[in-house]
Amino acid sequence: MIEIDGSFGEGGGQILRYALVYSIFLNKPFKIYNIRKGRPNPGLKSQHLNILKALKMISDSEVKGDEIGSLEVEFKPGKIKGGNIFLDFRTAGSISLFLQTIFPVGIFSKEPIYLHLKGGTDVPGAPTIDYFENVIVKIVSRIIEKFEMKILKRGYYPKGGGEVKIFLKGKKSLYDFNNFKDFRKFLKENLNLNFEGGKLLEINGMISSSNILKEKKVCERMKEVAEKILISKGFRNFHFKYFYEDSISPGCSFTIWGEMENNGIVGNDILCKKGVPSEKIAEDCVNEFIDISLNNSVDYHLSDNLVLWLSLAGGKIKLSKKTEHFKTAIFVAKKFLDFDFLEKGDNLIFLVNI
Give the model confidence (pLDDT) of 82-97 as tens digits: 999 999 999 999 999 9
Mean pLDDT of 260-283: 93
Report the half-sphere exposure of 279 (CA within 13 A, side-chain side). Answer: 4
Three-state secondary structure of 233-244: CCCCCEEEEEEE
Decide if 109 contacts 160 (C-beta within 8 A).
no
What band does 309 get if pLDDT is binned at 50, 70 and 90?
very high
- Give the pLDDT confidence score for residue 38 in this predicted structure: 77
What band does 37 get if pLDDT is binned at 50, 70 and 90?
confident
For the cut 80, the answer to whether the pLDDT of residue 11 exceeds it is no
Instruction: List Cα–Cα distances, 101 to 16, 25, 27, 245, 268, in angstroms.
Output: 9, 11, 15, 29, 21
- Residues annotated catalytic, as ranges: 325
For the cut 80, the answer to whether the pLDDT of residue 354 exceeds it is no
Alpha helices in the chain (DSSP H): 14-26, 46-58, 95-107, 129-131, 180-190, 218-232, 278-295, 303-313, 324-336
What band does 24 get if pLDDT is binned at 50, 70 and 90?
very high
Q: Say how far residue 246 (Cα) sits from the centre of its chain.
A: 25
**Omega before residue 250 within 30° of 0, cis:** no
Q: Is the dihedral of CA 299, 165, 103, 35 positive or negative?
A: positive
Distance CA 129, CA 312 (A): 25
For the cut 90, the answer to whether the pLDDT of residue 341 exceeds it is no
